Chains A and B, each alone.
Chain A
Amino acid sequence: MRKVACIGAGMTLFRRRLQETPKEMCWEAARMALDQAGLEIGDVDAVVFGSAPDAFDGIHMKGENVLDACGGIGRPYVRVFTGGGTGVFSPIAAYWHVASGLFDCVLVVNEEKMSSCQPHPQSVFGHIWDPILDRPLKPNLVWIFAMEMNRYMTVHNVRYEDVAAVAVKNKRNAVGHPCAQLADPHITVEDVMNSEVMAWPVHRLDISPPSDGASALVVCSEEFARTHRIESPVWFAGVGWNIDTTFWTDRDLYFPEYLANAAKIAYKQARITDPRRQIDFAEPYDPFDYKELHHMEGLGLCKKGEAPRLTREGVTQRDGDLPTCPSGGLLGVGNPIAATMGIKVGELYLQLSGQAGQRQIPHEVRTGVTNAWGDLMQFSSVVVMRA
């Protein structure tokens, strides 16, 4: 397989409500990514589009709706979908487009506009459940996260303040992100613990906000980067993805086995045998604070049940030994589902090319890992990148 680089990133503001349509947001992000790479749409061979359930936008076949804004007309164009895992999965799709030798330069555009759904995007989450087993119970999606968080905390005897510390860290990290929706330099663990209970043990500030937003990346071959004199390409070192059963009530939720399986694929390709030592920083998917901990363990960055201690000891702070979510994450920057690509794979690219500005990790970083998580708590996509 050929070496594949990321050479440009763009994103819109992440906000509760944006005036722009899905198309307009896509176009802004795509144009910004091309500008950053110094390219024009004519340089692009193929386009990958990513978005989560159509029901948020209320437009089925959303991929076709935003086609022109993504530069897809007259090109090989494909929409990929792995639910909440799409943010890290569409860059993987772009990777295989290029690694296979089929294309030299691929534009990836991800978009989500959750504000269109009335009165709250939560309402359409009701449509993802099994119609016979689950829907009669009138489930709210927060339930399953609450159940997973409770199981994780109970099995490992985790203190709630150690979970809340993740929300504090990420919302503070987001202060340096110009697109952030919920950055807060003064937030404390007490603020999180005292926010209202949504579905115990989940409190309001444990959850990332619904957002509108779009992001884009430019991905290319080694030869393309060389001939176009790209200054600081960042390389895909390994990719992986994996999914567990949709019968989620048949699994022990305390550990994301599917993520460990996905990481194994990515680490094998990246020749990583000891992730804790060989990986310098991480952007674990953090739609909820406990998910960062869950994902650190699934990614093998620490032992099972050890992530809360690392957080408490400051290891995961931006200036710590293993910075996690230096972008500010979904908790701080926002959660326009698939568009979180901009703060996951996008942040790996910016940190590894030294372009993260105020958010730049103060010590040298060479290798980063990120993941996203989705479908019905059962899927993870993993990308390892190197400077």
Chain B
Amino acid sequence: MTAKEVRWPGKELTAKEFYNKVTVTRYRPEAKFAWSAGEAMSRFLAELQRGRLIARSCSSCKRVLFPPRMFCEECFRPTDAWVYVRDTGTIETYSISYIDLDAKRIETPVYVGVVSVDGASPKMGIMHYFGEVAPETIRIGLRVKAEWKPAHEREGSVLDIRYWRPLRRGE
């Protein structure tokens, strides 16, 4: 780091050395979790199963908070009421991903991004997939609508929406 220093600590290992030559101990954690979804998210998930999106409103700052929460973090008071928002919105940003959860390459890219939802306060939205788009047609500002799974396949998850697709004429 400085002109005075001569020895830089650390011995580099190649992948081959790491996996074959040096002493290594291995461990696979067996950790399992079950989360209580809580007040706000339990209702949110129940509404997803019914094919609807729901938010909470704060009567102090007048915001419609989405995703819903039981307290307003700005006013620092309880939120007041459940409010349905629409299943249409605007693409705020997106990415076209060629890697999976483990950074392995995938054949068919995944379109993913943030949708701000109509009826919620400006810029409030969720992360989700986009479908029926191509690199040439997807853009920030594109108007989109949720493509829901059939009712009998829904299970109270964000995946009850298969993806968001461009608005069709008349929608």
Interface residue ranges, A against B (CB under 8 Å):
9-13, 15-20, 25, 28-29, 32, 36, 58, 115, 119-120, 122-123, 126, 131-134, 136-140, 142-143, 146-148, 150-151, 154, 178-179, 196-202, 212-213, 245, 247, 249-253, 342, 346, 350, 355-357
B35 near A131: Cβ-Cβ < 8 Å: yes
B140 near A355: Cβ-Cβ < 8 Å: no
Q: Which of B5-58 contact A (CB under 8 A)?
A: 5, 8-15, 17-18, 22, 27, 29, 33, 35, 37, 41, 44-45
Q: How far is the CA of A151 from the CA of B141 in the complex (A)?
A: 11
B1 near A355: Cβ-Cβ < 8 Å: yes
B100 near A133: Cβ-Cβ < 8 Å: no
Closest to B127 in A: A249
Q: How far is the CA of A18 from the CA of B12 in the complex (A)?
A: 5
User: How far in angstroms is the closest Cβ of chain A from B146?
Assistant: 14
Decide if B84 is an interface residue (CB 8 Å cutoff). Answer: no
Decide if B67 is an interface residue (CB 8 Å cutoff). Answer: yes
B93 near A147: Cβ-Cβ < 8 Å: yes
Closest to B140 in A: A154
Question: Which B residues lie within 8 Å of A122 (CB)?
Answer: 101-103
A32 near B35: Cβ-Cβ < 8 Å: no
Selected contact of B41 from candidates A132, A139, A140, A198, CB within 8 Å:
A132
B98 near A198: Cβ-Cβ < 8 Å: yes
Q: How far is the CA of A134 from the CA of B112 in the complex (A)?
A: 11
B127 near A10: Cβ-Cβ < 8 Å: no
User: How far in angstroms is the closest Cβ of chain A from B84?
Assistant: 18
User: How far in angstroms is the closest Cβ of chain B from A368?
Assistant: 16
Q: How far is the CA of A84 from the CA of B109 in the complex (A)?
A: 28
Decide if B128 is an interface residue (CB 8 Å cutoff). Answer: yes
Bitwise, B91-125 to A at CB < 8 A (1) or not (0) is 01111111111110000010011100000000111
Instruction: Please name 6 further chain A to chain B contacts, defined as beta carbons within 8 Å, in addition to the given A18-B11, A131-B35, A213-B10, sorted by A numbering.
Output: A15-B10, A17-B13, A28-B9, A136-B157, A200-B135, A249-B114
The A-B contact count (CB < 8 A) is: 174
Decide if B61 is an interface residue (CB 8 Å cutoff). Answer: no
Question: Which A residues lie within 8 Å of B11 (CB)?
Answer: 18-20
Closest to A196 in B: B98
Decide if B133 is an interface residue (CB 8 Å cutoff). Answer: no
Q: Which of B35, B112, B113 has the most CB of A within 10 A?
A: B112
User: How far in angstroms is the closest Cβ of chain B from A14?
Assistant: 8
User: How far in angstroms is the closest Cβ of chain A from B27?
Assistant: 6
Assess A119 versus B35: contact at CB under 8 Å? Given A18-B10, A132-B45, A137-B158: no
Closest to B106 in A: A140
A25 near B10: Cβ-Cβ < 8 Å: yes
Question: Which B residues lie within 8 Å of A151 (CB)?
Answer: 92-93, 140
Q: Which 7 A-B pairs have the closest CB atoms?
A: A146-B95, A13-B10, A28-B9, A122-B103, A151-B93, A199-B97, A12-B10
A357 near B12: Cβ-Cβ < 8 Å: no
Question: Which B residues lie within 8 Å of A212 (CB)?
Answer: 10
A249 near B125: Cβ-Cβ < 8 Å: yes
Q: How far is the CA of A251 from the CA of B127 in the complex (A)?
A: 12
Q: How far is the CA of A250 from the CA of B59 in the complex (A)?
A: 19
Decide if B151 is an interface residue (CB 8 Å cutoff). Answer: no
Selected contact of A139 from candidates B29, B33, B127, CB within 8 Å:
B127
Question: Which B residues lie within 8 Å of A126 (CB)?
Answer: 101
Question: Which A residues lie within 8 Å of B8 (CB)?
Answer: 12-13, 178-179
Closest to B95 in A: A146
Closest to B12 in A: A15
6 contacts between A and B (CB under 8 A): A29-B9, A137-B159, A147-B113, A178-B1, A197-B98, A200-B96
User: How far in angstroms is the closest Cβ of chain B from A212?
Assistant: 8
B2 near A350: Cβ-Cβ < 8 Å: yes
